[in-house]
Amino acid sequence: MGAIFYPRAIAVAGASEVPSSFGYHFIRHLLDYGYQGHIYPVNPNKEVILGLKAYQSLGSITGHVDYVICCLPASKVVDMLYECRAKEVKVVHLLAAGLSETGRQEGRELEAEILRTARRFGIRLVGPNCLGIYHPKGGMASTYSLPQKPGPIGAVFQSGGASQLLVRSGELRGLCFSKVISYGNALDLGESDFLDYLAEDEETEVVASYFEGIKDGQKFLGALTNAARAKPLIAIKGGQGMAGAKAAASHTAAIAGSEVIWRTAFKKAGVTMVRDLDEMVDCLVAFSLLSRIMGNKAGILTTAGGGLCVMAADVCESAGLNVPPLPSDIRNTLKARAPGIWDWIGNPVDASLIVAGASSAFFDLSREMASILSRSPAFDFVLVELTDDNPFSDEEWAEIASAQTEALIGLHRENLKPLAVVVSGGTFGAHVSQYERWDMLSAQRARLVEAGVPTFSSMADAALAIRRYISYCSLSATE
C-alpha cells in the first residue's frame, strides 16, 4: 500500500497532450496537486508532454518506477503489464472501462486475463474502471479542482464520480480528506484491502465508504468489523433495490445482494449506514467536527419565531433526540434579565421573543443564550438555528448576524459542550431571488464553516446526523 499512497516515481502510460484525454488529465493532476516524486509520461510518439520529457516505453525510463497510472484502452493492458514486470512496478492503476461491467463475454475474458497476468508478475491492481486515488498530502488526485488541504476523513468508494462529489460537497461543509480511493471493478485490490489500510492509517480518523458488490463476503465482514472497531465508519450500500442492483452490475459488475442481509451485517459490525451522499456528508460533519456527545438531551436555540421552534422540537424528537424543559437555573437567569418574558420562554429557546424586547440588553441576552445553554448540565449538546426571520432592516440585521456568528465561533472555540449550527434556507442559490438576505445567510454559513463549526442545512438533517453520532459514541463507549 505504501507504493499506492507514497510512490517515489509515477509513470503515466498512454500520456497525451489532448486536453480531453485521461492521459493528459492525470499528468496535469500530478503537476497541479504538487506531487513531489518523478513523473514519467509514456507515449511512443512524443518527446515532451506538458513540459515533461516523454518516454517511448516503460523500459526506456532510466529511473525506478513504483506506480503506473494506465490510461490505455483495455485491449492494451496485458502488453503493458509485461513492460511493468521488466520495470519491477509494484502497483498499476487501471482506468480502462469496457470490461466485465459491460456484461459481455469478451469483457469478462479480457478482465480475467489481466488479473492472471498481474498475479503472475506480482503486480497489484487498482481498478480497472476506476478513477483511482485522491491523496492531497501526497499530491495525487483523480480530477480537477479538488481541495489541496488534507484532513481526517478517509474514503473507500467503488464509484469514482461519487467519491469526487463527496469531496466537493464535503468541502462546502468544512470537511477535509486524508485518502480517497475509488477502486472500480475491484479486480485485484478491493474494498477489504482498502478498509484494512484506512483502519490502520494514522492520517485517517473517520472512514466513509460506498460499496456496490463484494467479492469475498467472509473477508469483507472481517475488514468491516475491524475498521468499524478502529474508527467511525459511515457507509452506503449501493444497489439495494432491484433497479439499483441492475445498475450496479452494469456499473462495476457487482453482485449486489439483498438489502436485508446487508443491513444486518452492517449493523452487527457497528457501521453507520446512510442512504445517499447528502446523509453521508451530514454524518461526516457530525462525526468529524463535533466533540463527543454522551447523551441525547438537546438544548436548542432558534433565531426564528415560534413556528420554527415548534418544528425544530418536533423533528428533533422524531429523530430520537430528547428536548427537555429549561432547568430552573436558566429560568432564574431569564427571570432576572428578561422579567417581562422569562416565564414564556422554553426549550427550544425562541430568540425572536427575546429580541422582540428590542432593547440592546435583550440583544446581548439573545446572543448569550447559546452560551447559557452550553453551561447547563441539563443538556448534552447545543443546537442553534439561524434564519432570516426577524423584523429588522438589512443593515441592522447584517450587524446583528455578524455579532451572532462571531459569538457562536467564540463558543465553538471555548468547547464547553458539543455545538452545531443549522443555517436553513437558500439551498437553491440566490440567483433567482431579489432577496439579498439569502446572501447574508450564506455568508454567515461560510464564516461558520471556515471556523470549523459543524453546520447543517436543516434541523431535520442535523437531528438525524447527530442522533447517529450519539449512537456511535454510546456504542464505542460500551466496548
* 437 touching a second copy, by CB under 8 A: yes
Residue from the set 127, 154, 238, 454 that interacts with a second copy by CB under 8 A: 238
**Angstrom distances, CA of residue 411 to CA of 121, 205, 402, 404, 457:** 57, 24, 14, 11, 20
Residues 7, 140: Cα–Cα separation, whole Å: 10
317 touches a second copy by CB under 8 A? yes
Instruction: For the CB of residue 168, give the shortest distance to a second copy in the complex, in Å.
Output: 6
Closest distance of CB 140 from a second copy, Å = 17
H-only helix segments in 134-269: 160-171, 191-200, 217-230, 242-252, 259-269
| Rounded Cα–Cα distance for residues 1 and 5 (Å) | 7
350 lines the binding site for a second copy (CB under 8 A): yes
Contact between 405 and a second copy per CB under 8 A: no
User: What are the DSSP calls for 453-468, one per residue?
Assistant: --EES-HHHHHHHHHH
Least distance (Å) between residue 23 CB and a second copy: 12
Please, what is the minimum distance in Å from the beta carbon of residue 441 to a second copy? 9
How many angstroms separate the CA atoms of 370 and 408, rounded? 8
CB of 178 to a second copy, least distance (A): 19
Q: Are 407 and 366 in contact (CB under 8 A)?
A: no
Stretch 415-434: interaction string toward a second copy, x if CB under 8 A: ---------xxxxxxxxxxx
- Residue 156 near residue 198 (C-beta atoms within 8 A): yes
Q: Is 251 in the site for a second copy (CB under 8 A)?
A: yes
From 227-235, 250-258, 405-413, 464-472, give the range in contact with a second copy by CB under 8 A.
Answer: 250-258
Which x/- pattern, by CB under 8 A, does the window 174-193 give for a second copy?
x-------------------
Residue from 210, 287, 363, 381 in contact with a second copy (CB under 8 A): 210
Size of the site for a second copy (CB under 8 A): 109
Cell 462571531, located at residue: 406
CB of 183 to a second copy, least distance (A): 12
Q: How far is the CB of 229 from a second copy (least distance, A)?
A: 26
Cα separation of the two ends of the chain: 29
Give burial (CB, 10 Å; 0-12/13-18/19+) of 435. Answer: middle
CB 82 within 8 A of CB 70: no
Q: Does 396 bind a second copy (CB under 8 A)?
A: yes
CB 100 within 8 A of CB 74: no
Least distance from C-beta 294 to a second copy, angstroms?
20
The C-alpha cell that represents 336 in the structure block: 432576572
Which residues are paired to 67 by β-bridges? 10, 91
User: In the bound complex, what is the minimum distance in angstroms from residue 322's beta carbon to a second copy?
Assistant: 8
> How far, CA to CA in Å, does 292 sit from each of 222, 295, 313, 373, 473?
26, 9, 22, 17, 7
| 76 near a second copy, rule: CB under 8 A | no
Per CB under 8 A, contacts with a second copy among 363-392 are 387-389, 391-392
Among 436, 452, 474, 475, binds a second copy (CB under 8 A): 436
Binding piece for a second copy, criterion CB under 8 A, among 99-107, 110-118, 215-223, 377-385: 99-107
Q: Which of 32, 205, 314, 364 binds a second copy (CB under 8 A)?
A: 314
Judged by CB under 8 A, the residue of 150, 222, 244, 327 near a second copy is: 244
Note whether 160 binds a second copy by CB under 8 A: yes
Answer for which of 49, 96, 186, 313 binds a second copy (CB under 8 A) is 313
Bond prior to 73 in cis (omega within 30° of 0): no
Smallest gap from residue 431 Cβ to a second copy (A): 4
Return the residue of 358, 361, 403, 475 that touches a second copy, per CB under 8 A.
358
* Residue (of 465, 472, 474) closest to 316 by Cα position: 465
Residues from 111 through 150 that contact a second copy (CB under 8 A) = 143, 145, 147
**Applying CB under 8 A, which of residues 79, 344, 359, 474 lies at the interface with a second copy?**
344
Give how far the C-alpha of residue 203 lies from the chain's centroid of Cα atoms, to the nearest Å.
Answer: 15
How far apart, in whole angstroms, are the C-alpha atoms of residue 167 and residue 153? Answer: 10
Window 445-464: contact mask with a second copy (x via CB under 8 A): xx--xx----x-xxxx----
Contact by Cβ (8 Å): 57, 82: no
Closest separation in Å from C-beta 138 to a second copy: 20
Q: Please say whether the beta carbons of 36 and 139 come within 8 A.
A: yes
SS3 call for 23: helix
Q: Out of 66, 83, 188, 212, which residue is the one contacting a second copy (CB under 8 A)?
A: 212
